[in-house]
Structure 1
Amino acid sequence: MKKYLLLFLLSFSICSFGQPKESQAIDNLFSEWNKPDVPGGAIGIIKNGKLIYSNGYGIGDLEHNIEITPSSVFYIGSVSKQFVTFSILLLEEQGKLNLDDRIQKYLPDFPEYDTPLTIRHFIHHTSGVRDYFTLMYLKGKNYLDDTNVDEIYGLIKKQEELNFLSGEKHLYSNSCYFMLAMIVEKVAGQSLKIFAHENIFQPLGMKNTLFYDDNTDLIKNRVFSYNRKSNGEGFNNLIMRFDLVGSGGVYSNIEDLFLWDQNFYNNKLGKGGQEIIERMHEEGLLNNGESSGYAFALNNGIYKGLKTVSHGGALAGYQAQLIRFPKQKFSVIILANRDDANPTRKSFQITDMFLKENFINDEVENQGKKVNNKQGFVHLKTSDLEKFSGHYWNDEGSYTRKLYVKNDTLRYYRSETNESDLIPISKHEFKMINVGSDVLVKFDKNEQGNYTMFFSVNGGKSIISKEYHPKDYTNEELIDFVGTYYSKELDINYTLKIKNKLLILYINEIEISPLNSIMVNLFSNEEYGVFHFKTDGYGKVSGFRLDTGRVTNLKFQKK
């Protein structure tokens, strides 16, 4: 008996001493999840080729009270995209496709636009093809429901124009990766699920990872997802039957993703060697020669002076983040089953515990540029701050920002729950604080007395917004906007009605929310974007174009 007790204590001691000294601080970070009646997540911390810490917090199935462990299997959302790009590169390695091939070579029924579309454009999100998730939302379709591949492909093909000419910009589009999955299937002669299993997952020993393309299939150890109720008390079950692959679709766990992470240091797939790994990190180029800022479903970045490679994912309450610090051979994996998880922030908090001695504090290097973080703050009178108060419109992004002074501080307002302090470093230049990046905001006054605001992050290209004066419409003026508007590309009617002196949007006869006036013939809706109304030769409203994030210039004609 004493012998077995000794062995037990010895094994316990080995496990205990094997834990990193930061383990208690990590558990404290996830204490909100580590409860018997809430969803949570699983984490993995990798250092020098070893999974030095893994744990599960909270419940994976609230109905059956099944706890989350490092073996629990989560939907990983857009983190799936890197398995698509790796599949594409494997097929290129096999000589079966070229990244500069036009899309129509493999999908001949896809429409021709004014500019060629290539596999490379799709990989780097520079195609201009409209995002199908956004199109589904605008059409009033719930992505939680069972969605047919042909239906979504048909919706994408129905779009008469691109958001922009291919190669001109970078704009994330799930449509591109949905179609890349179709190309893999066409070239390989088998589904993406089978190809990835045979060429990636199985060779790496990722036994619990798959592309889920049939929602009737069973997944062992699957975690279900939840969102917090509007009153903040308890969670709603998000029952997802979504099974489209390419834009997402992978289910995996901490243990398998550790194996995937390590393959970036010593590639065992395809022909072997690091050439294909180096390709994965190459960022696409825009037509002007500038970087698109997006590699092969990987984001190259800088955190506190250290190089990072990362990608996140989120859908239907599932959230995921994989971030790797290649020079330090350190990675953090967080998989969650609650919509308020914020795994990106938590992954950086874990990083702060382990790599703080490596951080470069005086400077942050970003894409070859250096930004001084020791800006000296100056004092400006409230009257000087008030000069910059007002409304600013960003035409490229189709969004408005409000600046106002509160408690002798200039505030940058995005929404009721999202605003930041701007602290002056000169008479016309401010630093945004507590945002996790080095954000500078500058102002320049034009001849008309209005300000232009220049917003830059980590020394990057400035985002320009111009001051404008809001237009307040009378009830009589709003009458001209009332009516039904039809979109051929969505095959749907939007209706506008006046209610309580507000212009209200209705879709499928369901009341949505008000349109808020920005300026003449320009309205915004918190859920559906920006409405640019047009008038006919008689000055009457005849239609509008809708800009909403990943879909722009969507036309509606008044009936």
Structure 2
Amino acid sequence: MKPLSLFSLIIIFNSFLSCQTNQPPTFTENREVDALFKEWNFEQSPGCALAVIKDGEIIYKKGYGTADLEHDVPITPATVFYIGSVSKQFVTMSILLLVEEGKINLDDAVQTYLPDFPTYEKEVTIRNLIHHTSGIRDYLTLWSLAGNNYLDHIDETAVYRMITRQKELNFLPGEQYLYSNSCYFMLSMIIEKASGKSLKEYAQNNIFKPLGMQNSHFHDDYFHIIRDRAFSYFYDENRFNNLIMRFDLVGSGGLYTSVEDLYLWDQNFYQNELGNSTQKLIENMHQEGILNNGESAGYAFALVNGEYRGLKTVSHGGALAGYRAQLMRFPDQNFSVVILSNLASFRPTYMAQNVAEVFLEDDMEPKEEDSSSENQDDEEAESYHPGSLEEYQGKFYSDELDVNYLLSIIDGKLSASAGNNNTWALEPRENDKFSAWFTLNFERDASGSISGFSVDAGRVQNLKFVKLKE
């Protein structure tokens, strides 16, 4: 008889653990959940770790697929993943704990803690940072527009210097909601200024240690060895490929953890053990930001209050490199789903909803018919053809990015190059407007000649470039 491989033995043990709970799922629920993840549940595939929580207990936990394809290490509920923006709720908890300590006021201007931050038409407060109503341009988008790869190591000082070079905001603080990773990067700096400790140290002492989250840390040093880490992958050309990152900035993301540790975090929302141990801290975490017009910003303290099929949800997702994460809570049902994945194409929110349906279907409203593909015009949009591309060529400079763009014609198309790293083909959209993953809006002087352009890239708006003289 052929001996079982280590991978097979761990999978068997993992399946045994999945049933060692006070309220195990029924055999049917067990099979339904496993069927959802069968696509990834084999040795040659990345996958995910899952924890299903009900009434204070993990009722089902399991790993599907492989954490390290090079060494055939399977995923288990103890596997440690990068969780991207799910990290942000630990930042806001740190902020609220510092409010309890009297070291931070949410309505303080950013300059109270970061005195070299620029002054704009209207002051930016900590509350604006928390709720993404600051108007501050997103640093990951800015870094990419400058021709850099943010999966590589990025110097914290260089990022902050880039943020402070921005001459304008996307909008006046409080006027809109627009997600910006710069806000939480700066919150981590403010935590350090107010507490005298790095975010990594503060969270360790005030969140992870009190809750017993032994496999969680903010990763601010890419040399740091992470035990039981899942490596990240993407699928391309009929194979899985490494998606390696040396990113170690914290605040906007940065947390490595496991589904077992996130269970402990999830339960603290029902009975708070942090700070002064009052439930008021938890109530504050759920408070949504308010815009200047009195309407909700739709974003709380890095939590999104939502609804799925008639049931109230509190959730947040995360993604970077090949890591994908979702922590979705159904508070009225005392039920949560935690999914952490190491595959870029994995859809954690969709899968969390599917898992919830297995257990909460009887409480949910009927599914709505998906009409997104109905009444669609099958005809392609009419292409725009500019008269001549030559006039758009040249070298352009942004002092806010401190980078040159070289615009030239390559294979009959206008292209933009930033440094030696990136060249983007630009598609004409309308008069004086071209786009790649961002949009260039060309500007002309009084004589009608191209004088520059502005860039719109979602979380970065109206970024100015001027044309340099030859």
Query: Normalized against structure 2, the TM-score is what?
Result: 0.92
Q: Shift in Å at residue 186 of structure 1?
A: 0.7
Q: Is the 8 A contact 1:469 1:519 kept in 2?
A: no
Q: Is the 8 A contact 1:134 1:550 kept in 2?
A: yes
Paired letter, 1:540: S
Please state whether the residue corresponding to 2:89 is helix, strand or coil: helix
Residue 170 (structure 2) pairs with residue 259 (structure 1): no
Within a 5 Å distance, the mapping from 1:351-430 to structure 2 comes to: 351-361=356-366, 409-411=375-377
Residue 326 (structure 2) pairs with residue 321 (structure 1): yes
Tell me how far apart the structure 2 counterparts of residues 13 and 115 of structure 1 sit (CA, whole Å): 53
Residue 24 (structure 2) pairs with residue 24 (structure 1): no
Q: Shift in Å at residue 469 of structure 1?
A: 7.5
Tell me how far apart the structure 1 counterparts of residues 369 and 52 of structure 2 sit (CA, whole Å): 32
Please state whether the residue corresponding to 1:166 is helix, strand or coil: coil
- The residue aligned with 1:275 is 280
- The residue aligned with 1:54 is 61
Q: 2:305 aligns with which of 300, 307, 321?
A: 300
- The residue aligned with 1:155 is 162
Residue 448 (structure 2) pairs with residue 535 (structure 1): no
Largest Rg, 1 or 2: 1
Q: Is the 8 A contact 2:17 2:61 kept in 1?
A: no
Paired letter, 1:275: K
Are the structure 2 counterparts of residues 246 and 521 from structure 1 closer, same or farther at C-alpha, using a change threshold of 3 Å?
same
Paired letter, 1:502: K
Please state whether the residue corresponding to 2:451 is helix, strand or coil: strand
Tell me how far apart the structure 1 counterparts of residues 289 and 197 of structure 2 sit (CA, whole Å): 28
Residue 406 (structure 2) pairs with residue 495 (structure 1): yes
Paired letter, 2:385: D
Identity %: 53
Q: Shift in Å at residue 260 of structure 1?
A: 0.4
Q: 1:340 aligns with which of 345, 349, 354?
A: 345
Question: How much is the aligned-residue C-alpha RMSD, in angstroms?
Answer: 2.3
Are the structure 2 counterparts of residues 58 and 267 from structure 1 closer, same or farther at C-alpha, using a change threshold of 3 Å?
same
Residue 230 (structure 2) pairs with residue 223 (structure 1): yes
- The residue aligned with 1:247 is 252
Q: Shift in Å at residue 56 of structure 1?
A: 0.3
Q: 1:472 aligns with which of 379, 382, 385?
A: 385
Please state whether the residue corresponding to 2:233 is helix, strand or coil: strand
Tell me how far apart the structure 2 counterparts of residues 218 and 410 of structure 1 sit (CA, whole Å): 51
Tell me how far apart the structure 1 counterparts of residues 39 and 89 of structure 2 sit (CA, whole Å): 31
Q: Deviations over 1:394-430 (max 9, x none)?
A: xxxxxxxxx9xx9x942489xx9xxxxxxxxxxxxxx
Size of the aligned set, in residue pairs, is 451
Within a 5 Å distance, the mapping from 1:135-154 to structure 2 comes to: 135-154=142-161
Q: Shift in Å at residue 19 of structure 1?
A: 4.0
Tell me how far apart the structure 2 counterparts of residues 13 and 487 of structure 1 sit (CA, whole Å): 55
Tell me how far apart the structure 2 counterparts of residues 343 and 57 of structure 1 sit (CA, whole Å): 13
Q: Greater relative contact order (Cα 8 A, min sep 6): structure 1 or 2?
A: 2
Q: Is the 8 A contact 2:88 2:251 kept in 1?
A: yes
Q: Is the 8 A contact 1:123 1:297 kept in 2?
A: yes
- The residue aligned with 2:426 is 515
Q: Deviations over 1:222-265 (max 9, x none)?
A: 11111112x1x121112211111100111100111001000000
- The residue aligned with 1:437 is none
Paired letter, 1:479: E
Are the structure 2 counterparts of residues 555 and 337 from structure 1 closer, same or farther at C-alpha, using a change threshold of 3 Å?
same
Tell me how far apart the structure 1 counterparts of residues 349 and 378 of structure 2 sit (CA, whole Å): 23
Please state whether the residue corresponding to 1:496 is helix, strand or coil: strand
Are the structure 2 counterparts of residues 409 and 171 from structure 1 closer, same or farther at C-alpha, using a change threshold of 3 Å?
closer
Q: Shift in Å at residue 502 of structure 1?
A: 2.0
Tell me how far apart the structure 2 counterparts of residues 288 and 186 of structure 1 sit (CA, whole Å): 32
Tell me how far apart the structure 2 counterparts of residues 217 and 67 of structure 1 sit (CA, whole Å): 22
Tell me how far apart the structure 2 counterparts of residues 24 and 98 of structure 1 sit (CA, whole Å): 50
Q: Shift in Å at residue 20 of structure 1?
A: 3.4
Higher strand content, 1 or 2:
1
- The residue aligned with 1:366 is none
User: Where do 5+ consecutive residues of structure 2 fail to align?
Assistant: 1-15
Are the structure 2 counterparts of residues 124 and 36 from structure 1 closer, same or farther at C-alpha, using a change threshold of 3 Å?
same
Q: Is the 8 A contact 1:334 1:343 kept in 2?
A: yes
Q: Is the 8 A contact 1:313 1:319 kept in 2?
A: yes
Tell me how far apart the structure 2 counterparts of residues 214 and 47 of structure 1 sit (CA, whole Å): 35
Tell me how far apart the structure 2 counterparts of residues 114 and 203 of structure 1 sit (CA, whole Å): 42
Paired letter, 2:241: N
Tell me how far apart the structure 1 counterparts of residues 369 and 88 of structure 2 sit (CA, whole Å): 38
Question: 28-37 vs 234-243, which deviates more?
Answer: 234-243
Q: Is the 8 A contact 2:147 2:422 kept in 1?
A: no
Q: Is the 8 A contact 2:19 2:60 kept in 1?
A: no
Tell me how far apart the structure 1 counterparts of residues 17 and 50 of structure 2 sit (CA, whole Å): 22
Tell me how far apart the structure 2 counterparts of residues 479 and 347 of structure 1 sit (CA, whole Å): 51
Tell me how far apart the structure 2 counterparts of residues 142 and 494 of structure 1 sit (CA, whole Å): 16
Query: Normalized against structure 1, the TM-score is what?
Result: 0.77
Please state whether the residue corresponding to 2:229 is helix, strand or coil: coil
Q: 2:141 aligns with which of 134, 140, 144?
A: 134
Paired letter, 1:515: L
Q: Is the 8 A contact 1:504 1:511 kept in 2?
A: no
Tell me how far apart the structure 2 counterparts of residues 68 and 471 of structure 1 sit (CA, whole Å): 49
Paired letter, 1:552: Q
- The residue aligned with 2:9 is none
Q: Shift in Å at residue 15 of structure 1?
A: 4.7
- The residue aligned with 1:350 is 355
Paired letter, 2:343: R
Q: Is the 8 A contact 2:148 2:421 kept in 1?
A: no
Tell me how far apart the structure 1 counterparts of residues 75 and 141 of structure 2 sit (CA, whole Å): 32
Residue 395 (structure 2) pairs with residue 484 (structure 1): yes
Please state whether the residue corresponding to 1:347 is helix, strand or coil: helix
Tell me how far apart the structure 1 counterparts of residues 20 and 224 of structure 2 sit (CA, whole Å): 37
Tell me how far apart the structure 2 counterparts of residues 511 and 125 of structure 1 sit (CA, whole Å): 29
Tell me how far apart the structure 2 counterparts of residues 252 and 211 of structure 1 sit (CA, whole Å): 9
Within a 5 Å distance, the mapping from 1:82-231 to structure 2 comes to: 82-229=89-236, 231=237
Tell me how far apart the structure 1 counterparts of residues 129 and 156 of structure 2 sit (CA, whole Å): 18
Q: Is the 8 A contact 2:51 2:60 kept in 1?
A: yes
Tell me how far apart the structure 2 counterparts of residues 315 and 262 of structure 1 sit (CA, whole Å): 26
Q: Shift in Å at residue 131 of structure 1?
A: 0.5
